[in-house]
Amino acid sequence: MARVAVVHNTLDFQGGADIVCLTVCAALQGAHDVTLYTLSETDPRVLVERFDIDLDAEALTVRMPTGAVTAARALSSVAPVLGPQLPLRSVLIHRIFERDADAFDLAVSTANEFAFSIPSVQYVHYPQFHTGRLADGSSGPSNRLWSRLAGPSRAGLASDAVTLLANSAWTAGVVGEIYGLSPGVLHPPVDPIDGGERWDEREDGIVVVGRIAPDKRTLDAIRVADGVRERGHDVHLHVVGAAPRAYRQYVERVEAAAAERPYVTVERDVPRSRIEALLRTHRYGLNLKREEHFGMSVAEYVAAGMLAFAPDGGGQREILDGRDDRLFESVDGAVDLLAAAIDEGESPDLSPERFSSARFRRAFRRAVTRALH
């Protein structure tokens, strides 16, 4: 049994990265002594229940510094002005972990790349450091500082002591652009959602699952529903997702827009059973985030036997096999695709089994075993 530290910058945004974090803890918990390092106000037990993850959260050791909850709450509170500051949280949790690093055999990052002082397995959702090297110029000025404080060098990540994984081939390509490396691709865990209604018994409704946040373009989902209805289709829309403190102002705007439309419903922070009930009984799943690094909500739509639609960019292209009848460039394009699918009576034909959590856990355990030997 090895001593393994799982390092995760924060659970406060309650999205796909946090599902990966807790699934990794669950995958390693039986065979190793696992400690989670994080800077969060969110209790892991809350997310274990919400996402229905088979993790013994009571037995999981969680390390946070004194005042971590207050600090996490403060960072979330200023996020509407300064942004979520995820690299900053990564710098802070990296420094906290490195004080204890010698007590562990292996570090596992489920929050992107780090400069660790011990052997590591690092799972990249999207690179968080040295983003100034990207040709699209998307890096902010603060990223140079965070990169100096906790970011790895190209040589450091290329070391035999580092196992590098990415959540999609698209993300692996971004890692290659920054670091000149080719991570292995391990898609996140998304289990089939069994017990769905037959297609002809499902509701003509659209479901949007995930964080309610500007980058998810939740307001655009309402515009898509408006557009499909203007084409003569009596569809309704369910927006179902986490409403973190950092995005409270945007959530209020989404709720205000929904209140003006009887066919739009917003449900915040609901249990997993409610999400799955909607996915089992509705026909259409919609994602609006451009260049989603993977797109767990899109994979969930497929896993539930829905027709899934997403922007034509990022890892979600891999989930939808690059199909031009499911991938769009704009809100108007999304309206066109959904209206056409309804007109043609299209039904789903993608496998719901592709991204199972059992596959993810096996692959991650293998990576850890190799890294320890």
pLDDT digit string (tens) for 310-339? Answer: 999 999 999 999 999 999 999 999 999 999
Residues 311 and 288 in one domain: yes
Residues 43 and 97 in one domain: yes
pLDDT higher than 80, residue 142: yes
Q: Pick from 32, 34, 76: which is nearest to 58 by CA?
A: 34
The three-class DSSP label of residue 79 is helix
E strand or H helix at 184:
strand 184-185
Residue 270: inside a domain: yes
pLDDT higher than 70, residue 124: yes
Residues 40 and 93 in one domain: yes
Residue 350: inside a domain: no
The three-class DSSP label of residue 6 is strand
Residues 304 and 234 in one domain: yes
Residue 324: inside a domain: yes
Q: What is the pLDDT of residues 146-185, one digit of tens each?
A: 898 889 999 999 999 999 999 999 999 999 999 999 999 9
Residues 102 and 168 in one domain: yes
Residue 349: inside a domain: no
The domain of 249 spans 199-344
Q: What is the pLDDT of residues 219-238, one digit of tens each?
A: 999 999 999 999 999 999 99
pLDDT for the residue numbered 308:
98
**What band does 14 get if pLDDT is binned at 50, 70 and 90?**
confident
pLDDT for the residue numbered 80:
56
The answer to whether 143 and 131 have CB atoms below 8 angstroms apart is yes
pLDDT for the residue numbered 82:
46
Does this model's pTM top 0.85?
A: yes
Q: Total domain count for the chain? A: 2
Half-sphere exposure of 169 toward its Cβ, with a 13 Å CA cutoff?
A: 7
CATH of the domain at 221: 3.40.50.2000
Rounded alpha-carbon distances, angstroms, from residue 63 to 20, 37, 38, 69, 88 = 18, 5, 7, 11, 18
pLDDT for the residue numbered 34:
98
pLDDT higher than 60, residue 81: no
Residues 208 and 281 in one domain: yes
**What band does 68 get if pLDDT is binned at 50, 70 and 90?**
low
Residues 176 and 234 in one domain: no
Where do the H-state alpha helices sit in the chain? 16-29, 44-51, 68-82, 86-98, 142-150, 154-158, 169-179, 218-230, 248-259, 272-281, 296-303, 316-319, 331-344, 357-372
According to the 3-state scheme, what is the secondary structure of 203-266? EEEEEEECCCCHHHCHHHHHHHHHHHHHCCCCCEEEEEECCCHHHHHHHHHHHHHHHCCCCEEE
Residues 45 and 70 in one domain: yes
Residue 351: inside a domain: no
Residue 237: inside a domain: yes
Average pLDDT of the segment spanning 95-100: 95
Of how many residues is the chain composed? 373
- Strand arrangement of the beta sheet that strand 162-166 belongs to: 61-63, 33-38, 3-8, 106-109, 120-124, 162-166, 184-185
User: What does the alpha-carbon distance between residue 321 and residue 340 come to, in Å, rounded to a whole number?
Assistant: 19
Residues 20 and 166 in one domain: yes
The answer to whether 199 and 304 have CB atoms below 8 angstroms apart is no
Q: What is the pLDDT of residues 236-294, one digit of tens each?
A: 999 999 887 878 899 999 999 999 999 999 999 888 899 999 999 999 999 999 999 99
pLDDT for the residue numbered 44:
93
The answer to whether 167 and 187 have CB atoms below 8 angstroms apart is yes
Q: Tokens for 129?
A: 């450091």
pLDDT higher than 80, residue 63: yes
Residues 172 and 231 in one domain: no
**What band does 83 get if pLDDT is binned at 50, 70 and 90?**
low
Residue 360: inside a domain: yes
Residue 36 pairs in a beta bridge with 6, 62
Q: Tokens for 339?
A: 């209206």
Residues 46 and 128 in one domain: yes
What is the number of other CB atoms lying within 10 angstroms of the CB of residue 67? 9
The answer to whether 24 and 54 have CB atoms below 8 angstroms apart is no
For 30-43, the DSSP string reads: TTSEEEEEE--SS-
pLDDT higher than 80, residue 119: yes
- Strand arrangement of the beta sheet that strand 236-241 belongs to: 264-268, 236-241, 203-209, 282-286, 307-311, 327-328
Residue 217: inside a domain: yes
Residues 208 and 155 in one domain: no
Question: Which of 25-39, 62-76, 161-175, 359-373 is predicted with the least confidence, judged by mean pLDDT?
Answer: 62-76
Spatial CB neighbours of 232, under 8 Å, sequence gap ≥ 6: none
User: What does the alpha-carbon distance between residue 293 and residue 35 come to, in Å, rounded to a whole number?
Assistant: 27
Average pLDDT of the segment spanning 204-214: 95
pLDDT higher than 80, residue 73: no
